[in-house]
Amino acid sequence: MKLTIKLFMTLTALLCLSGLSAQASNNQQPEPDPNFYIFICFGQSNMEGAARPEAQDLVSAGPRFLLLPAVDDPQRGRKRGVWCEATPPLCRPNNGLTPADYFGRTLVASLPEHIRIGVIHVAIGGIKIEGFMPTEIAEYVKTAPAWMKGMLEAYDNNPYQQLVELGRMAQRDGVIKGVLMHQGESNTDDPEWAGKVQKVYDQLLGDLQLKPEEVPLLAGEVVQADGHGQCIAMNKQIDALPKTIHTAQVVSSTGCTNGPDRLHFDAAGYRELGCRYGELMARLLGYEPRRPQFETHKPLDVPADAFIAETTVPGNDFPKVDSEHRAYFRVSAPEARSVILDICSKKYDMQPDGHGGWMCVTDPLPVGFHYYFVNIGGQNFIDPSTETFFGCNRQAGGIEIPEGPEGDYYRPQQGVPAGQVRSIYYWSASKQEWRHAMVYTPAEYEEQGARGKVRGAKRYPVLYLQHGMGEDETGWSKQGHMQHIMDNLISTGQAVPMIVVMESGDIKAPFNFASGASNQQGRSDYGASFYPVLVNDLIPYIDQHFRTLADREHRAMAGLSWGGHQTFDVVLTHLDLFAWMGTFSGAIFGLDVPTAYDGVFADANAFNKKIHYFYMNWGTDDFIQGGALAESLRAAGIRVDTAVSAGTGHEWLTWRRGLRDFVPHLFKK
C-alpha cells in the first residue's frame, strides 16, 4: 500500500513538471512570420522626405504595409518599436513623403496578398555617410552643424545603432529582405564614398546576421533636374556602386520631378522614385511588378506668350496672363482635397498638378483689375503669390489684365514728374478716435525754387475722393492708380495741379441689406458717420497741414459706387463747402429729384451757379446704371455731364476712366 501511494505521488510530480514544461514552451516567442518582408531604409534628406504629402498619400495602404517607428510620434499615436500602418511621415513627425512610401505600396500591389511589407526608417537631412559608420559617428556628432544636432539626438546620436536595434526587433516578427539607401548628396566628389557605403552595409549585415545574397542593397540616384541638379555629379558614383558591392542595385531618377531647389524631389518625384524602388525589389523577389493606384496629373498647358501678371509677388511664376486675356493660377495646397478659384463672378475647379500644387486657367477676362480668392474647404483664402488689396470687405488677392496703349493714362510714364501719395493720421474730435487717410500732392508741391528752398507760396485746390463699399482709403492709389492718372493729366496741362484726399469713409464693413434699413439717397445711415468727420475734422486738418486754397471754389468731392452715394449726401447738403462734384457708378437709389435734399434741385439756375461742374459715369455692363437719373436731372434743368465706359462693369477700369474724364474739368471756369 505504501509503495502504491509513493508511486502515485512520483507519477503526479512528473506530470506536473511535464505540464510546466509545456506551459513554458507555449510562452516562448513565436517564430518570425516568413511572409512578413521587412526592409531597412536609411539615408539623408531625400530618404527623410522633403515634400509635403498630398491628400492621396495620406490614405493608408492597409494592414499589409507597416512601419516600425524609430521615434515616438504622439500626434499619430506611434511608439518607437511598435508596428503601425505606414502612412507619411515615415521618418520623424515633421518630415514628408519619401521613396519608402511608394516602395511599400508598390510591393503591396505586386506581391501575393498573404505577404505583408514592413519598413524601418532612419534618415537625417544633410548627413554624410560617415554618420552611419560605427567607427566615425562619435566624432561626426561632435562636428555636426547646429541645425543637424536635434535630428541626431532623436536617434540618441547614433543612427546606425538605431537601425541595428530596430532590425533585431523586426527579426522577431518577420524576415529582412533588403536595404534601401538614398544618400550621397553630402558626399559629392568623395572618391571613397562607395567604400564607406560598403563598410556600413557589411557591418549592418554582420550585426543582424544576414547574408548579402539574400538582402540586396538598393541605392537611388539623386535629383537630375534635366541635367541641372545641384548634386547630379554624384550619380556617376552611385551608378558605379555595384562595382564595389556586388549585391547593390541602382534605382534611376531620370524623369523624376523635383522642387525648385533642384536638390529635393517633389511629391510626384517621390512617388515615381518610390515605385521604381518597389518595382526593382519585386523583380528581385521573383514577382511581376504592379504599380499602386494613385493620381497622375497632366500639367496645365501654359502658352509661351503667357507672362507674369504685374500684380504677382516677385519671385513667383504665377499668376500669368496670355495674349487672349486668360489667366493661369497655381497655388500650393498638397493636403487639400479640392481647390476652387473664384474670379469675375465665376468659379473654376483647380486641378492638382502632382507636385503639391493646384492649377487652373480662366476664360478670357475683361481688361482691368479684378479681385479673386482661392477657396479651400469652403473657406476663402488669398493666393500668397499675389499682391493684396483691400476689397470685398477684407484683404483680397487681385490681378491686373492689362490694356494696350490705351491704358497708358493710368501707367507711370518716363519723363512725367511724379507726385507723392502720403499716409497720414489725424484726430477726429467728432468720433474721439485717430483716423487714417491718404493724400496725393502733385510733383510741383515739393519742387525747389532757384535758391534751393521749397516753394511755399503756391496753394492748391483739393479733391476729396471716396472709394466704394467694402474698400478702403488705399483703393484709389493701389487699385485705381489715381496718382499716375493725376501725374499724366497735370504734366500735359489737361488738369490743374491739385491735392487729392482719400479716407475710408466708414464703409469698409458691408451694408447690412438684411436689416431692412434704407439705402435710399439721403436716408441711409451706412457711411453717414463719416459726414461730420469730413466736415468738422478732415477738411480743417488738410487746410491746416497742407497748402490749400481753403474755400468752396477750390474744393471738390467725388466717389465711386457708395462713395458716389456719399458725395451726393455731403455736397448737396454743404454747398457752402463744395463747388464741384462727380460720381463713378454712383450708388444713387430712390432719389426724387424735385424734393431731394430739401429741394436743392428745385431752382436749377441757382444750383448750376453753385456747382460749376457735375459729372456721372458708369459702365455698359454695370449693374448700377446712371442714365435714368441723369435724364431726370436734365429734365429739371440741372447741368450734368455723363459718360459710359464701353465694355466694363462695376469695376476699377470704369472708375479709372471716370476719374480721367472728370479731373480735367475741375477748378476751371
Active site residues: 45, 261, 264
- Collapsing DSSP to helix, strand or coil, 296 comes out as coil
Helices and strands (H, E) in the chain, number of each type: 19, 25
Of 509, 308, 520, 305, nearest in space to 399 by CA: 308
Check the CA dihedral 504-510-515-521 and report its sign: positive
Q: CB-based contacts of 399: which residues, under 8 Å, 6+ apart?
A: 309, 311, 312, 319, 321, 327, 343, 365, 369, 370, 372, 386
Read off the DSSP letter of residue 28. S
Of 382, 255, 250, 416, nearest in space to 311 by CA: 382
Of 527, 592, 535, nearest in space to 562 by CA: 527
Of 3, 163, 205, nearest in space to 71 by CA: 163
Cis peptide before 289 (omega within 30 of 0): no
CB of 600 within 8 A of CB of 571? no
Which region, left, alpha or beta, applies to residue 551 given φ > 0 means left and ψ of -120 to 50 means alpha?
A: beta
For residues 219 and 184, give the distance between their C-alpha atoms in angstroms, rounded to a whole number: 10
> What kind and span of H or E run contains 7?
helix 2-26
Cis peptide before 299 (omega within 30 of 0): no
Amino acid code (one letter) for 648:
T
Phi and psi torsions of 195, nearest 5°:
-65, -35
Tell me the pairing of strands 346-352 and 357-361.
Answer: antiparallel
Residue 51 β-bridge partners: 97
For residues 83 and 63, give the distance between their C-alpha atoms in angstroms, rounded to a whole number: 10
Amino acid code (one letter) for 383:
D
Cell triple for 299: 500639367
CA distances (Å), origin 213, targets 40, 179, 205: 15, 12, 11
Neighbours of 593 (CB within 10 A): 18
The secondary structure of 589-605 as a DSSP string is -S--TTTHHHHTTTSHH
Cell triple for 274: 518610390
For residues 439 and 500, give the distance between their C-alpha atoms in angstroms, rounded to a whole number: 6
Amino acid code (one letter) for 13:
A
Q: Measured in Å, how far apart are the chain's first and last C-alpha atoms?
A: 145
CB of 451 within 8 A of CB of 545? no
> What is the crossing angle of helices 482-491 and 652-662, to 10°?
30
Of 514, 624, 531, nearest in space to 571 by CA: 531
Neighbours of 444 (CB within 10 A): 13
CA distances (Å), origin 580, targets 69, 86, 539: 75, 72, 15
Which pairs count as long-range contacts for 516-522, CB under 8 Å and 24+ apart, including other chains?
A: 518/590, 519/587, 519/589, 519/590, 520/589, 520/590, 520/591, 521/565, 521/568, 521/569, 521/588, 521/589, 521/590, 521/591, 521/596, 522/568, 522/569, 522/572, 522/591, 522/596, 522/597
